[in-house]
Amino acid sequence: METAEIRRRWLSFFEGKDHTVVPSASLVSPDPTLLFTVAGMVPFIPYLTGREPAPFDRATSVQKCVRTLDIEEVGKTTRHGTFFQMNGNFSFGDYFKESAIPWAWELVTTPKEQGGYGFDEKDLWVTVYEDDDEAHRIWTKDVGVSPDRVQRLGMGPNYWSTGGPGPCGPCSEIFVDAGAHLGRDGGPAVDEDRYIEIWNLVFMEFERGEGGGKSGFPILGELPRKNIDTGMGLERVAYLLQGKDNMYEIDEVFPVIEAASAMAGVRYGADREADVRLRVVADHVRSGLMLVGDGVRPGNEGRGYVLRRLLRRAVRAMRLLGVDAPSLAELTTVSKDRMALSYPELGTDFGRISEVVAAEEEAFRRTLVAGTTILDTAVRETKAGGGTQVPAARAFQLHDTYGFPIDLTLEMASEQGVSVDEQGFRELMTEQRERARADARSKRTGAAAVGAYRDVLDANGPTDWQAYTTLTTTSR
């Protein structure tokens, strides 16, 4: 089933259940506390918190998302993209678990010929929060899922809150068993590589009070209006339904792998390391396309830096695959040809997008020549002095003057057998940021935006460095 068809079925299923179809918001988050839209719920935050009255009781969308936190997973796991699309259905004080759960099951298990996704029940598993007897009862009694397929998990994976006072509540997730060859039996609690999380259902039903940490916080009582927020990974469902091994091999992404491997003269599937690089290229090129499409421009901070880093990582991966000639514009064209089927504006705006991408590649190529010389000298000096660690100041200079993302410096240093004083580098970055902030403060007054959605922020990184230092996801 084509990705576009999975999307169509999603929207028509929930439209048939009286949901208003809401177009994807921009990747540039409409919430001022987030750099990017990291989940389908982000555009609906004001309605979910009750800050603004919702113009509809029910909504559904396929939301473009970027999660920089997942960058290190890309190409290595089967299921993490820096860009992906989250299908969502939302209830603002309207239906609750009793509808959200059976509908999710209905869409997932209805045979393909009848408009559903046609997953086989024998491949499906469900998790609920350990104390959520209500959800457990709905899954087992109302829906009729076998109790040995419904696992109770703790707060870590199965409880959602903003991280501060506000709505909170249990989650329930649907997993697909991608095959016994991928790991041990036993369901999602045992092995993530085998059991693929496709859909998260969040039940916002309680009011969280002040204090407490990630778990063990005070709960003041039930919300007067309970909400539903769900998110299903479009690419994950696509790769499972298309019989592929991972999300980079789906119809919307794979053509870039094909184009990149043809340029490099390597065969995808022949070598693990090359395969990871090809998947990174395909992922980052698509993220770059979508971000530039939403108006982000490469730069040295914030969103621009994330974009710069993605594009430069893609160029770098191509070079490691043996391609020195410019390649990004061509690969971006391939990606656009696929993505424009769902996002036609990419086609009309492509002249501009292509120029931005090509200019960034060109800038990076110039920088790479100069930066590589600096780095090589630093490595030589380090080794000559009997050390094994490139000093922080050099990494900072490479970042600040030559636009070298720190992971590029780390990678290139490690190829030459030395490490980098990363801690020191981050301190220098913090100092620089504080200087910039002090500067900005002296130029303007006004309070910083206070985020209601701390947890999304914590999990996905507000701007630059947190997201880059965290190599693993905090939720599972």
Can you give the binding site for ligand ATP, defined by CB under 6 A? Answer: 39, 67, 70, 79-81, 84, 86, 197-200, 231-233, 235-236, 473, 475-476
**Least distance in Å: CB of 175 to ligand ATP?**
9
Which CB, 39 or 353, lies closer to ligand ATP?
39
Which CB, 200 or 327, lies closer to Mg ion?
200
Contact (Cβ atoms closer than 8 angstroms) between residue 425 and residue 397: no
**Residue 229 site contact among ligand ATP, Mg ion, none (CB < 5 to 8 Å, cut-off depends on kind):** none
Which CB, 197 or 330, lies closer to ligand ATP?
197
Which CB, 128 or 198, lies closer to ligand ATP?
198
Please, which residues have CB within 8 angstroms of residue 68's CB and are 6 or more apart in sequence?
Answer: 35, 36, 82, 306, 460, 461, 467, 468
Give CA separation, 68 vs 280, 321, 421, in Å: 13, 23, 23
Distance CA(315)–CA(68), nearest Å, equals 18
Which CB, 82 or 327, lies closer to ligand ATP?
82
**Least distance in Å: CB of 473 to ligand ATP?**
5
> Under rule CB under 5 A, how many of the chain's residues touch Mg ion?
5
Greatest CA separation for the chain: 71
**Least distance in Å: CB of 132 to ligand ATP?**
16
Which CB, 72 or 252, lies closer to Mg ion?
72
**Least distance in Å: CB of 215 to ligand ATP?**
16
Q: What are the E-state strand segments in 287-446?
A: 389-390, 419-420
Give CA separation, 392 vs 137, 348, 352, 406, 408, in Å: 56, 44, 37, 10, 14
**Residue 458 site contact among Mg ion, ligand ATP, none (CB < 5 to 8 Å, cut-off depends on kind):** none
**Least distance in Å: CB of 87 to ligand ATP?**
9
x/- site string to Mg ion, residues 188 to 227, per CB under 5 A? ---------x--x---------------------------
Beta strand 150-153 pairing with 159-161: unpaired
Please, which residues have CB within 8 angstroms of residue 289's CB and are 6 or more apart in sequence?
Answer: 332, 335, 336, 339, 346, 353, 357
Q: What one-character-per-residue DSSP string does 263-277 give?
A: HHT--TTS-HHHHHH
Which CB, 83 or 396, lies closer to ligand ATP?
83
Residue 473 interacts with Mg ion (CB under 5 A)?
yes
Contact (Cβ atoms closer than 8 angstroms) between residue 64 and residue 290: yes
Distance CA(222)–CA(232), nearest Å, equals 26
**Residue 84 site contact among Mg ion, ligand ATP, none (CB < 5 to 8 Å, cut-off depends on kind):** ligand ATP
Read off the tokens for 163.
């991280």
Residue 476 interacts with Mg ion (CB under 5 A)?
yes
**Residue 298 site contact among Mg ion, ligand ATP, none (CB < 5 to 8 Å, cut-off depends on kind):** none
**Least distance in Å: CB of 476 to Mg ion?**
4
**Least distance in Å: CB of 435 to Mg ion?**
33
Which CB, 246 or 354, lies closer to ligand ATP?
246
Which CB, 201 or 266, lies closer to ligand ATP?
201
**Least distance in Å: CB of 469 to ligand ATP?**
17
Beta bridge partners of 160: 169
**Least distance in Å: CB of 350 to ligand ATP?**
24
Read off the tokens for 58.
């029910």
Read off the tokens for 53.
């009255």
Distance CA(236)–CA(246), nearest Å, equals 8
**Least distance in Å: CB of 237 to ligand ATP?**
8
Alpha-helical regions (H) of 203-271:
234-241, 254-264
Beta strand 195-208 pairing with 166-177: antiparallel
**Residue 34 site contact among Mg ion, ligand ATP, none (CB < 5 to 8 Å, cut-off depends on kind):** none
Cβ-closest residue to ligand ATP? 233
**Residues between 385 and 404 that touch Mg ion (CB under 5 A):** none
Which CB, 319 or 476, lies closer to ligand ATP?
476
Distance CA(68)–CA(464), nearest Å, equals 9
Which residues contribute to the site for Mg ion (CB under 5 A)?
Answer: 197, 200, 473, 475-476
